[in-house]
Amino acid sequence: MLLLWYASILTSMITFAFGISERSWLYMLVSTTTLLPLAYYFSGANSALKYVGFIPLVPLCMTIFFWWYSSKCKTA
């Protein structure tokens, strides 16, 4: 199970880096999706670790912004 967590975190970090460099909403969406199982697991914690569940909101907001920006540039 720990190997799946490492794979999820590594995939998320790599796609996040590609998403930032390419300004691609698709890479950011993949990054958000791969962070969701970890966020779901930690959201059930009774300590401060439950706030780790909010981490996917950062790539999600960036996904929405990149999608909005790319659709705005295509129409202009």
**In this prediction, what percent of the chain has a pLDDT beyond 70?**
99
**pLDDT tens readout for residues 15-45:** 999 999 999 999 999 999 999 988 888 888 8
Say whether 76 sits in a helix, a strand or coil: coil
pLDDT given at position 53: 86
pLDDT given at position 65: 94
Q: Which has the higher per-residue pLDDT, 66 or 42?
A: 66
Rounded to an integer, what distance in angstroms lies between the CA atom of residue 39 and that of residue 33? 10
Per-chain mean pLDDT for the chain: 90
CB contact set of 21 (below 8 Å; sequence gap of 6+): none
